[in-house]
Structure 1
Amino acid sequence: MPAQDSFVTHAGADLCAELRGQGTRAGFDRNELLLLVDRPSDHVLLIERGFVKVQLAGNGRDLIAGLYGKGELIGEQGVMESKPRSATVVAHTACEATRIHHRDFKEFLRRHPELPLILGRIAYERLHRADQRQINLASQDVPTRVCRQLLAWGQALGERTRDGVAISGLSRKDLAQCVGAGEATVDAALKQLGDQGLLRTRRLTFVLPDPHLLRGYLRARPIT
């Protein structure tokens, strides 16, 4: 199911079906490169299945700027502005996407003058989330950022199981990249959560036994 603020949700099923008709469907393996920073913006991608991660380079380590799934449009800003790619996009899971050539996409926008406004709204929402992330990185300690990221992943990507909400396909390295911290520091925060029964981990999986308890733990933490 597409996210509430995805392109498909904003644009509607009919417009998205028409857009799909302008492109070709392609499959990508986990960790396969979809878009590369500084390369020409010659197409956009409409994610049909799976998840991709947007990566930015910073301070000697890659940062995950966001995870995007079904219904999200990727690479549209570079095409609309005729600028190189501003970030690298990698398949986080095996995924499928519809690839639309930049000329076809621009013609599609010309036929539907309401779409630039929709895309502008989506870009604003993404920028707002990025700004909030920067505020969190500057003002919150690592354990707080880890809790918030796990809760966000649980809401967006989690699957309800008998053991709790399972977040699959994400590693500790992914978590460290998302919260802008070293893996050792993140491991210490995860151990603390595990010792208190708020988290279970296994390979490429985080399990939140009760997200409400984790939210309560987060609210009770001192403001840093």
Structure 2
Amino acid sequence: MDYGGSAEDVDAGYLPAQDSFVSHAGADLCAELRGLGTRAGFDRNELLLLVDRPSDHVLLIERGFVKVQLAGNGRDLIAGLYGKGELIGEQGVMESKPRSATVVAHTACEATRIHHRDFKEFLRRHPELPLVLGRIAYERLHRADQRQINLASQDVPTRVCRQLLAWGQALGERTRDGVAISGLSRKDLAQCVGAGEATVDAALKQLGDRGLLRTRRLTFVLPDPHLLHGYLRARPIT
């Protein structure tokens, strides 16, 4: 969904990744990769990968979104949100190192699981793919750096607005009441913007009082995303 404005108005640090492994590698190679694995479904908040565990497989996300979590000071921080077409866990497999982060189903999702030996053999048959994976790793690092800049340079209300707009753009569904973002909690939002739940609740109340947001269980509704976008642009630079 396009709210108008420039890419800076809804930072890349808040949006799910746009250039997936599938878009880089191509449909034919990805079909071959899928043939090496098995497909499985995961419920919301179900664990897909656990930090420090052996890297014994990779996951190709087929449906839904997963979140990469890093342990913070007393609370987990969502380092990235990845959806359909993304390959997860490949760096640990390629480097034969334990998992560096925990991956959890952000929404109900499906993924193809490929054993590490099959994945390494797949890479040997296609020597161009490590370069593709290197570009993806660079893009992820850039996005992670942008998120850290956001956390350091923007106040919580600004981060909340940007995250809601990004979710609306990537995950929102147009309804009679506005753009509905379903399946996500206030805790999810707090983890994404790196703030305490009480602070995030205060920002949400402020938006609700202005008529820019409605909330119900596991749902955020933006009555008019363009108005929220305009409110964000009018906020003092922080």
By the TM > 0.5 criterion, same fold? yes
4+ residue segments displaced more than 4 Å: none
Query: Alpha-carbon deviations, 1:171-216, whole Å to 9, x = none?
Result: 0011011111111110010011111111111110111112121111
Give the deviation of 1:2 after TM superposition. Answer: 10
Query: Alpha-carbon deviations, 1:18-47, whole Å to 9, x = none?
Result: 000111111222221110001110100001
Aligned-partner Cα distance in 1 for 2:197–2:20 = 31
Evaluate the alpha carbon distance shift between residue 189 and residue 2 of structure 1 in structure 2; reply closer, same or farther with a 3 A threshold: closer
Are 2:127 and 1:128 equivalent residues in the alignment? no
Whether the 8 Å CA contact 1:29–1:95 is kept in 2: the answer is yes
TM-score normalized with structure 1 length: 0.96
Give the deviation of 1:114 after TM superposition. Answer: 1.4
Alignment of 1:69-108 (within 5 A): 69-108=83-122
Q: Give the 3-state SS of the residue equivalent to 2:174 in structure 1.
A: strand
Query: Alpha-carbon deviations, 1:39-96, whole Å to 9, x = none?
Result: 1101000011122111110111011112212111110111111111010011122221
Q: Which residue in the other structure is 2:167 paired with? A: 153
For structure 2, list consecutive stretches of 5 or more residues without a partner in the other structure: 1-14
Query: Alpha-carbon deviations, 1:143-175, whole Å to 9, x = none?
Result: 001011111111111112222211111100110
Whether the 8 Å CA contact 1:144–1:218 is kept in 2: the answer is yes
Whether the 8 Å CA contact 2:66–2:81 is kept in 1: the answer is yes
Aligned-partner Cα distance in 2 for 1:159–1:192 = 23
Q: Which residue in the other structure is 2:79 paired with? A: 65
Give the deviation of 1:4 after TM superposition. Answer: 3.6
Aligned-partner Cα distance in 2 for 1:21–1:2 = 26
Are 2:192 and 1:178 equivalent residues in the alignment? yes
Q: Give the 3-state SS of the residue equivalent to 2:195 in structure 1.
A: coil
Whether the 8 Å CA contact 1:142–1:186 is kept in 2: the answer is yes
Percent identical pairs in the alignment equals 97
Aligned-partner Cα distance in 2 for 1:204–1:79 = 34
Q: Which residue in the other structure is 1:217 paired with? A: 231
Aligned-partner Cα distance in 1 for 2:189–2:107 = 15
Aligned-partner Cα distance in 2 for 1:194–1:200 = 6
Whether the 8 Å CA contact 2:16–2:82 is kept in 1: the answer is no
Whether the 8 Å CA contact 1:143–1:186 is kept in 2: the answer is yes
Whether the 8 Å CA contact 1:3–1:71 is kept in 2: the answer is no
Aligned-partner Cα distance in 1 for 2:150–2:194 = 10
Aligned-partner Cα distance in 1 for 2:132–2:100 = 20
Aligned-partner Cα distance in 2 for 1:151–1:78 = 32
Give the deviation of 1:106 after TM superposition. Answer: 0.8
TM-score normalized with structure 2 length: 0.90
Aligned-partner Cα distance in 2 for 1:9–1:162 = 33
Aligned-partner Cα distance in 2 for 1:106–1:162 = 49
Whether the 8 Å CA contact 2:16–2:80 is kept in 1: the answer is no
